[in-house]
Structure 1
């Protein structure tokens, strides 16, 4: 049994997001060496800072435990920035992930679901929601899901 979590993010960031936040996000995506240091193209493993931090959204290719692919993309849009990421995160890294998720919620351009996280063996995720710039986690209960499915036409 592993301690992996499936993390899925899909959100837009406002055009006013500070450059330091974008630099940190790029570092987590593995496309920059760190805040204020510019793009290096170095592998994610080489980007760890002095405190042994490492990029949380930098893996690419087939997922080890959660199936599908690991991705992470940040693109400029007419209204700001678009971020999509799908990653495997070890349980020991969840405390490092929380500040990043809080920052993303703070700079999200819309209210509502910005992603989800679930233990890889679970069937039901916990939603990550931006409410007035605050990260809110909403645990979904399997019984609630079954009740909704029971009312859907076949």
Structure 2
């Protein structure tokens, strides 16, 4: 059966992303049904068996953690750039099987590379761990940090 990871990611995407990048992001978030003509998020061509599938689950009950797996990409209507460009806000909470963790981290790195967000971007928790590790994206590198202080398992 294996273990599961609870992945939470929150980013503000760069303005003026090319449409093919936004389309692939929307597809992986299950916000469009049409797959991209070319996949850029994964360096390994074998990330799927026969048919490509959106990596995240959209909005559904999580089968391994309390709460909901959810994906969202929304315009920040009250936070425009000074020149009037639109900000896009993205949030993901997804249950990831341990066999797919490498691909999930490739996708997180790819998404973070198109974000304006630096520093804390989310967390990654494992079913057997008492607390998640915080994820940071700094200078083009994804880093993890244990939370400070004592933590109890529920």
TM-score, length-scaled by structure 1: 0.74
SS at match of 2:56: coil
Hey, which bits of structure 1, 4+ residues long, moved more than 4 A? none
1:117 aligns with 2:124: yes
> Structure 2 vs 1, CA of residues 106 and 69 (structure 1 numbering), >3 Å: closer, same or farther?
same
SS at match of 1:92: helix
**In 2, Cα distance between equivalents of 1:14 and 1:88:** 26
Computed over aligned residues only, the root mean square deviation of the Cα atoms, in angstroms, reads 2.5
**In 2, Cα distance between equivalents of 1:105 and 1:121:** 26
> Structure 2 vs 1, CA of residues 139 and 52 (structure 1 numbering), >3 Å: closer, same or farther?
farther
Deviation at 1:136, TM superposition (A): 2.0
Gaps of 5+ in 2: 39-47, 81-85
Deviation at 1:111, TM superposition (A): 1.4
Deviates more, 1:5-14 or 1:115-124: 115-124
Q: Which residue of 2 aligns with 1:130?
A: 137
TM-score, length-scaled by structure 2: 0.74
> How many pairs were matched up?
134
Map residues 60-79 of structure 1 onto 2, 5 A cutoff.
60-77=59-76, 78=80, 79=86
